[in-house]
């Protein structure tokens, strides 16, 4: 797999990210951090969040959208919130890098990646390294490992699946905490570079042995008279 910097495992929240973006210190945060593109399903995620708010659920939650994309598409996303009465609960923070990105990941209570297709999902791994559990669509390559490790939730990528997954995850603060701990443990075990380097060493050793065995099998003794 791809890996993440070990330093993310030690990142702790300071509250500065929330202060910078006018998010109450005690408000739980749902974070979507990715390139803003139709394949990411951000529109469905946003609509599910707003639907639940309209039903009186997720009342305390704030939704942070971190990322950027084509201006026309980003404007389409922004229009989804207008006129709902919940505009103040959705924060458009733009593209984040470095310390600002780490701060967003560790301040979040739940990271969501609702892609229609995602080979891996490095943003989700970075979130888990920061101790943030994840909500993933089944189309995300990491989904099976997250499910097996109890590091988050895996949902069907449709309006009903997203609403159900969000409702379940956001209504269980103790479970959020437990899955956040499991998420960090999964990254430490599977996705830091030293672990991955060890796996590559094993792969290269196997390839080397296989080549030596192949060469040996084709060697013949030639008698010269």
Task: Please state the φ and ψ torsions of residue 168, each to the nearest 5 degrees.
Answer: -65, -50
Identify the band that residue 45 occupies on the pLDDT scale cut at 50, 70 and 90: very high
pLDDT one-digit tens code per residue, 58-106: 999 999 999 999 999 999 999 999 999 999 999 999 999 999 999 999 9
Pairing of strands 134-137, 90-94: unpaired
Give the mean model confidence (pLDDT) for residues 145-151.
97
- Does position 218 have pLDDT exceeding 80, yes or no? no
The pLDDT of residue 70 is 96
Instruction: Note the pLDDT tens digit of each residue in 100-129.
Output: 999 999 999 999 999 999 999 999 999 999
CA angle 169, 141, 105 (to 5 degrees): 50
Q: 217 pLDDT exceeds 70? A: no
Phi, psi dihedrals of residue 91, rounded to the nearest 5°: -115, 125
Q: Are 140 and 45 in contact (CB under 8 A)?
A: no
The pLDDT mean for the chain works out to: 93
Length of the chain: 225
Beta-bridge mates of residue 92: 65
- 3-class SS of residue 224: coil
What confidence tier does 209 reach under pLDDT thresholds 50, 70, 90?
confident
Q: Residue 216's pLDDT is what? A: 63
223 band by pLDDT with thresholds 50, 70 and 90: low
Contact 153, 171 (CB under 8 A): no
Quickly state the pLDDT bin for 151 (edges 50, 70, 90). Answer: very high
pLDDT of residue 225: 57
Distance CA 193, CA 199 (A): 10
């Amino acid at each position: 797999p791809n890996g993440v910097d070990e330093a993310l495992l030690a990142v702790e929240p300071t509250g500065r990210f929330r202060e910078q973006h006018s998010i109450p210190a005690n408000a739980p945060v749902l974070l979507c951090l990715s390139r803003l593109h139709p394949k990411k399903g951000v529109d469905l995620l946003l609509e599910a969040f707003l639907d639940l708010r309209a039903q009186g659920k997720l009342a305390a939650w704030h939704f942070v959208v971190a990322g950027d994309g084509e201006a026309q598409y980003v404007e389409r996303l922004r229009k989804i919130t207008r006129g709902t009465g919940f505009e103040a609960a959705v924060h458009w923070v733009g593209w984040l890098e470095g310390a600002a990105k780490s701060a967003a990941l560790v301040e979040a209570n739940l990271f969501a990646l609702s892609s229609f297709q995602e080979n891996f999902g490095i943003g989700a791994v970075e979130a888990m390294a920061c101790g943030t559990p994840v909500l993933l669509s089944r189309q995300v390559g990491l989904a099976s490992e997250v499910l097996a490790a109890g590091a988050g939730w895996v949902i069907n990528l449709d309006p009903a699946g997203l609403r159900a997954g969000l409702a379940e995850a956001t209504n269980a603060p103790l479970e959020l905490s437990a899955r956040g701990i499991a998420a960090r443990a999964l990254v430490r075990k599977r996705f830091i570079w030293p672990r991955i380097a060890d796996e590559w060493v094993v792969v290269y050793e196997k390839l080397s042995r296989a080549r030596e065995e192949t060469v040996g099998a084709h060697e013949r003794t030639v008698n010269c008279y």
